[in-house]
A and B are shown apart, each in its own frame.
Chain A
Amino acid sequence: MAGREVQTVQDVRRHRDARRTGGTDIPVIVRTILSAMRMTFMNLFRKPVTVHYPDKTRNYPDRYRGLLALVYEKDTGEEACIGCRLCEYVCPPAVIKVEMLKSEKRNYAKSFTLELYACEFCELCVQVCPTDAIVMMKSFDMPTTDRRELLLDKDRLHTIGLSFEQSWATGNKLRDMQGPPKAARPVAHAPAAAEAGKPAAEGTTVS
């Protein structure tokens, strides 16, 4: 580009001065001014779209990515988390820290901290969890004046899990939704939309 002129200030000026003005066609100008004013006037009578939060909340969809929480297993009531640390490794901003506690039948998480103030809410931890232990809630209602309150430990995560409504997404459901069709499935792959929410027939994924 050096040295070669492709556009000069004269070009700019020529175009600026040769613009088609609306003309001084008075009836047109009057009509358009009135039509713009009529549009804003019509809007006076449309219902405002304001939602009076926090008195009313809107309906959050099923897949809403809200607060994170740890849950208990449905049948035994024990903590679902086995301390495998997969969520810690997948988290892009590395906000999860887990320590495993080995035990005879299964492992547990000795400590589980999640720094919610740095969390991106990308749902990757939910995606990789093998036991559906970490999930997201359908709410983000946790206003606080102190950032330290957003450093969630295991107890707080379990409390959140019991306080709010859980979103649709869990690890197994997401992995089933994403994988290619299972080889053992007898029927041609049914629409994935209808399968949302139903776990895979075999419960294992082909890797």
Chain B
Amino acid sequence: MSESVMLVLVPFIVMNAVIGIVTYVTLLERKFAARMQSRIGPYRVGPHGLLQPIADAIKLMMKEDVVPTAADKPVYNLAPIVFLVPCMFIFATIPFAPGLGVADLNIGILFFLAISSMEIVGLFMAGWGSNNKYALLSAMRAVNQVISYDLPFIFASLVPVLLAGSLQLGDIAAAQSGLWFVFYPVIGQLAFIAFIASTVAAENRAPFDILEAESELVAGFRVEYSGMKFALIQLGEYTHVLGSSFLGALLFLGAWSGPGPEWLGPVWFLIKAMFVFLLVTWVRWSFVRIRVDQILALSWKALLPMTLLLLLATAFVVVWRTSGGA
């Protein structure tokens, strides 16, 4: 196949696969959460609820698109797209198997972190353009929170980078063929925990979902969106969660390494990403949320110093290793 055709075909396939997985990940979350709450979750639509995401998608597409008259129309209409596109971009650098990915950039993780920080622009556009006090309040909280937690997220992700010695995601995955980074004594586990904590917060998931606090701000910055725009925002959120799960599986859990033949690699990768996702979901459904000032205090006073120290310690370990220690 010619290069240009591959250049278009591979991202197309990846994007569709991602959207497909994301819709079914919502069903997985709903069933998992339901079981934790002594109930069943979607059951009637399709066998055991398997057609529920499709029914939801069709419903959202058919809904009326209500636009508030006093909303800032260009900002309001563009916000879901500005929110969704970076979330989908993060899948560009993730290799699903050695050599199988859209673009295994040699600055892979830097690209991931930079692009995922751009969603905050879309989020704030949504909050501002809605011309709604609830949305504005939530957007202000969101900017605070996401920016505060991106820093520990970056530092926690840098620990595997230091241990592997490269920014390229394919190299990081390959460096774990011996021992997964999460099993490195102390450093690996602490980095994994910090990664999970900061990813939960950067994605506005409970217990840090103060910006969409249903009981206070109803739906936060999404409150004025309906129909397909709302679907785009939901898609963006879950894509980001999934992307971070894939990144976590790649950085800490060894990506595609697992028993069995080579072609099982992507399957193992998917399973590990689902494990990280379920971990995030489990945290979500177990805790009440904390207030925004407490969230910010946790980030600046606890997570950031901890990840900085962790990074320093990792640097020491790497130097000690390469200079002839064990």
A37 touches B283 (CB 8 A): yes
Bound: A39/B282 CA distance, A: 11
B39 touches A44 (CB 8 A): no
Q: Out of A24, A40, A47, which one reaches B285, CB within 8 Å?
A: A40
Closest beta carbon of chain A to B3's beta carbon, Å: 49
Asked if A43 is at the interface (CB within 8 A of a chain B CB), the reply is yes
- Using CB atoms, name the residue of chain A closest to B285: A40
CB neighbors of B among A40-82 (8 A): 40-41, 43-44, 46-50, 52
Asked if B321 is at the interface (CB within 8 A of a chain A CB), the reply is no
Asked if B143 is at the interface (CB within 8 A of a chain A CB), the reply is no
B125-161 near A? 1/0 per residue, CB < 8 Å: 0000000000000000000000000000000000000
B286 touches A46 (CB 8 A): no
How many A residues are at the interface, by size bracket? 10 to 19
Asked if A36 is at the interface (CB within 8 A of a chain B CB), the reply is yes
CB neighbors of B among A14-43 (8 A): 24, 33, 36-37, 39-41, 43
Given A37-B286, A39-B286, A41-B282, check contact A48 B36 (CB 8 Å). Answer: no
- Using CB atoms, name the residue of chain A closest to B294: A21
Main secondary structure of the interface of B (DSSP, over half): loop
A43 touches B283 (CB 8 A): no
Asked if B40 is at the interface (CB within 8 A of a chain A CB), the reply is yes
Asked if B35 is at the interface (CB within 8 A of a chain A CB), the reply is yes
- B40: chain A residues within 8 A (beta carbon): 48, 50
Closest beta carbon of chain B to A160's beta carbon, Å: 28
- Using CB atoms, name the residue of chain A closest to B35: A44
Q: Out of B38, B283, B287, which one reaches A49, CB within 8 Å?
A: B38
CB neighbors of A among B1-41 (8 A): 34-40
Closest beta carbon of chain B to A195's beta carbon, Å: 39
- Using CB atoms, name the residue of chain B closest to A29: B302
Q: Out of B39, B43, B287, which one reaches A36, CB within 8 Å?
A: B287
- A47: chain B residues within 8 A (beta carbon): 38
- Using CB atoms, name the residue of chain A closest to B301: A24
Q: Which of B34, B36, B37, B287 has the most C-beta atoms of chain A within 10 angstroms of its own C-beta?
A: B36
B286 touches A40 (CB 8 A): yes
Given A39-B286, A40-B285, check contact A50 B36 (CB 8 Å). Answer: no
A37 touches B282 (CB 8 A): yes
A41 touches B39 (CB 8 A): no
A40 touches B39 (CB 8 A): no
Bound: A33/B196 CA distance, A: 14
- Using CB atoms, name the residue of chain A closest to B193: A30
B282 touches A40 (CB 8 A): yes
B286 touches A49 (CB 8 A): no
Closest beta carbon of chain A to B285's beta carbon, Å: 6
Closest beta carbon of chain A to B264's beta carbon, Å: 27
Q: Which of A33, A37, A41 has the most C-beta atoms of chain B within 10 angstroms of its own C-beta?
A: A37
A46 touches B285 (CB 8 A): no
Closest beta carbon of chain A to B55's beta carbon, Å: 19
- B35: chain A residues within 8 A (beta carbon): 43-44, 48
Closest beta carbon of chain A to B47's beta carbon, Å: 14
Given A36-B286, A37-B283, A37-B286, check contact A43 B39 (CB 8 Å). Answer: no
Q: Out of A33, A37, A39, A46, which one reaches B38, CB within 8 Å?
A: A46
- A33: chain B residues within 8 A (beta carbon): 287
- Using CB atoms, name the residue of chain B closest to A33: B287
Bound: A40/B38 CA distance, A: 10
Bound: A47/B285 CA distance, A: 18
Bound: A161/B5 CA distance, A: 73
- A43: chain B residues within 8 A (beta carbon): 35-38
B282 touches A50 (CB 8 A): no
Closest beta carbon of chain A to B136's beta carbon, Å: 25
CB neighbors of A among B212-233 (8 A): none
- Using CB atoms, name the residue of chain B closest to A38: B286
Closest beta carbon of chain B to A18's beta carbon, Å: 16
- A24: chain B residues within 8 A (beta carbon): 302
- A37: chain B residues within 8 A (beta carbon): 282-283, 286
Closest beta carbon of chain B to A24's beta carbon, Å: 8
Bound: A46/B38 CA distance, A: 7
Bound: A148/B223 CA distance, A: 38
Q: Which residues of A contact B (CB under 8 A)?
A: 24, 33, 36-37, 39-41, 43-44, 46-50, 52
26 A–B contact pairs at CB < 8 A? A24-B302, A33-B287, A36-B286, A37-B282, A37-B286, A39-B286, A40-B36, A40-B282, A40-B285, A40-B286, A41-B36, A41-B282, A43-B35, A43-B36, A43-B38, A44-B35, A44-B36, A46-B38, A47-B38, A48-B34, A48-B35, A48-B38, A48-B39, A48-B40, A49-B38, A49-B39
Additional 8 contacts, C-beta under 8 A, given A43-B36, A50-B39? A24-B302, A33-B287, A36-B286, A39-B286, A43-B38, A46-B38, A47-B38, A48-B40
